[in-house]
Structure 1
Amino acid sequence: MSLKSLTRDWQPMSFGFLDASAKREIRRTSLKAIAVPGCQIPYASREVPMARGWGTGGLQVSCTLITPRTRIKVIDQGADDSVNAASIRRFLARVSGAPTTMDTLEADLIQSRHRIPEEVLQDHQVLVLQVPNPEPLRPVEPNMSLARQMHADADYGRMWLQLYEQIVRSGRVMQGASYPSLVNGRYVMTPSPIPRWDVPKLHMARHLTLLSAGREKRLFAVPPFTRVEPLVFEDVPYRVEDHAGLSCARSGARGFFMNEIPQADGSSSYEISDSELGVKSIRQRDNETVTIGDTWYKNGEMAG
């Protein structure tokens, strides 16, 4: 046996940017997270060519899962054409040679910041959510050691108290994005800064969702067909944003989550947050052949 036989030719970069050891660790961490839904699993977050807080956690998971045949979709606040989404999509394609797409129905791997697409994801698709703050207990317990113990004991009384105080003071739950949700009847998680509108999309979904926080070095998961239940009192039902009566000024689509765009005269217009669904709606309106998949919401109501 020679030394040369044990080594490989020098390469400028590993496939998918991360080295094999980093990928193995993230795969092991992902399997643990899937086995214990909602539980935060620590991992050694690596350096990637992106500043912390701009999606490094999601990028590491995507680099681990990607293959040359994986079709990639990257969105930021629902948009495929934002600077962050375009940069990440270009980077993933460059380090893997994988094809990219903006069509939710064609994607195998979807990396997202703060939104879940409006079209229903299928069982062959993986959703990777970027998470800036994975700890739902941080607002009520800033000491992370004590927060970990509270998770171990399933002690979420302070979170219930926080929701109760919001109702008493404001007449409703004021929690918007990152609404705390109980996963599989055991762990409370923060489902990334997605709006309340998107949280029901995780409940008993067919797809796998991986949530990764690179700065906090935590990864957790929602496996397919897993219960995800927002924390609510029995007599105060969970409510999503009231966008049912809003219409997209560009596409005319109704009943979906909208972005509010202030106008010069002080009024507001609205544009559908899922940019690709908006493009499809415009093409359909212009009598072009386009396929729009089933959507989670119908006329502003969660489909049965």
Structure 2
Amino acid sequence: MTLKTLTKPWEPMSYGFLDGSAKREIRRKMIKAIAVPGCQMPYASREVPMARGWGTGGLQVSLTLVNPSMRVKVIDQGADDSVNAASIRRFIARVAGTPTTMDTLDADLIQSRHRIPEEVLREDQVLVLQVPNPEPLRPVQPNMSIARQMHADADYGRMWLQLYEQIVRSGRVMQGASYPSLVHGRHVMTPSPIPRWDVPKLHMAKHLTILSAGREKRIFAVPPFTRVEPLVFSDVPYRVEEHAELTCHRSGTRGFFMNEIPQDNGTSTFEVSDSEWGVKSIRRRDGEDVALGETWYKNGKMSS
């Protein structure tokens, strides 16, 4: 045996940019996260060619999961055509040779920042959510060592107190995005900065959701068919954003999560946040044969 037989020809980089050791570690931590839903798993977040806080955690998970036959979709605030989404999509395609798509129905892997698509995801799809701050206890306990002990003891009394104080002071829960949710009846997680509208989409969903924070070096997961229950009092029900009566001025769709666009005259128009859903709706309206999948919400109400 010679040294030459044990080595490979020099390559400028590993497949999918990350080295084999990094991918093995991230895979192990993802398996642990799936085994203990909602529990944060630490990992050695690698450097990638983008700034911390712009999706490095989600990108590392995507680079670990992709293969040449997997179609990748990247969303930023619901849009496929934003600078961040386009840059990440091009980078994944370049280093992994994987095809990309904007259609939710065609995607195998969906990496998203702050939104879950309006179309229901299938069992064979994986959703990767970028998470800037994975610790739901940080607003009530800034000491992370104590916060982790509170997770171990399932001690979430301070979070309940925070919600109670919001109701007493404002008449309702003021928590918007990143609404704290109990996963599998055990761990409270922050479901990324997705709006309250998207949190029910994680409950008993068919797909696997991986949440990753590159800057904070934490991975956690919501396996398929797992309970995800927002923290609410029995006499104060969970409420999503009141977008049921809003209509997209471009596509004419109604009953979905909208982006508000202020106008010069002081009024506002609205545009459906899931840009590809809006595009497909316009194409369907114009007579094209476009497949529209089942949606989580119908007429502003969550489907059973």
TM bucket normalised to smaller? over 0.9
The answer to whether structure 1 residue 21 and structure 2 residue 11 are counterparts is no
Aligned residue in 1 for 2:33: 33
Letter in 1 for 2:24: R
Task: Identify the residue that residue 85 of structure 1 maps to in structure 2.
Answer: 85
2: distance between equivalents of 1:13 and 1:253?
Answer: 45
Match of 2:167 in 1: 167
Within a 5 Å distance, the mapping from 1:184-263 to structure 2 comes to 184-263=184-263
Give, as a single letter, the amino acid of the residue that structure 2 aligns with 1:4. K
List, as ranges, runs of 4+ consecutive aligned residues in structure 1 with deviation greater than 6 Å: none
Q: Distance in 2 between matches of 1:174 and 1:21?
A: 43
Once residues 244 and 238 of structure 1 are traced to their aligned partners in structure 2, the CA distance between those partners, rounded to angstroms, is 15
Shift of residue 245 of structure 1? 0.2
SS of structure 1 residue aligned to 2:24: helix
For residues 1-304 of structure 1, what are the structure 2 equivalents within 5 Å?
Answer: 1-304=1-304
Residue deviations 1:87-106, cap 9 Å, x none? 00000000011000000000
- Offset of residue 40 of structure 1: 0.1
SS at match of 1:142: coil
TM-score by length of 2: 1.00
- Kindly provide the CA deviation profile for residues 141-176 of structure 1, in whole angstroms up to 9, marking residues without a partner as x: 000000000000000000000000000000000000
Give secondary structure in 2 for the equivalent of 1:197: coil
Q: Where does structure 2 lack aligned partners over 5 or more consecutive residues?
A: none
Taking the aligned partners of 1:129 and 1:211, their CA distance within structure 2 comes to 5
Secondary structure of 2:198's aligned partner: helix
**In 2, Cα distance between the equivalents of 1:165 and 1:262?**
32
Match of 2:223, as an amino acid?
P
Which digits, 9 at most, give the CA deviation of each residue in 1:254-274, with x for residues without a partner? 000000000000000000000
Name the amino acid aligned to 1:244.
A
Amino acid of the residue matched to residue 25 of structure 1? Answer: E
1:161-208 alpha-carbon deviations (Å, 9 max, x no partner): 000000000000000000000000000000000000000000000000
C-alpha separation in 1, matches of 2:122 and 2:281: 21
Distance 2:24 2:142 in 1: 32
Whole-angstrom CA distance in 1 between matches of 2:290 and 2:9? 47
| Separation (CA, whole Å) in 2 of partners of 1:70 and 1:57 | 19
Q: TM-score, normalised by structure 1?
A: 1.00
Deviations 1:93-127 (A, max 9, x none): 00011000000000000000000000000000000
For 2:247 and 2:13, the matched residues in 1 are separated by: 47
Which residue identity is paired with 1:190? Answer: T
| CA–CA separation in structure 2 for the residues paired with 1:267 and 1:24 | 52
Deviations 1:2-23 (A, max 9, x none): 0001111000010000000000
Report percent identity of matched pairs: 83
Deviation for aligned residue 1:287? 1.0
- Give a deviation string over 1:230-283, Cα, whole Å, max 9, x none: 000000000000000000000000000000000000000000000000001101
After superposition, the C-alpha distances for 1:67-93 in whole angstroms (9 at most, x for unaligned) are 000100000000000000000000000
Tell me, in whole angstroms, the C-alpha distance in 2 between the residues paired with 1:121 and 1:202: 10
Q: Distance in 2 between matches of 1:109 and 1:198?
A: 18
- Unaligned 5+ segments in structure 1 are none
SS of match in other structure, 1:221: strand
- In structure 1, C-alpha distance between the alignment counterparts of 2:96 and 2:188, rounded to whole Å: 35
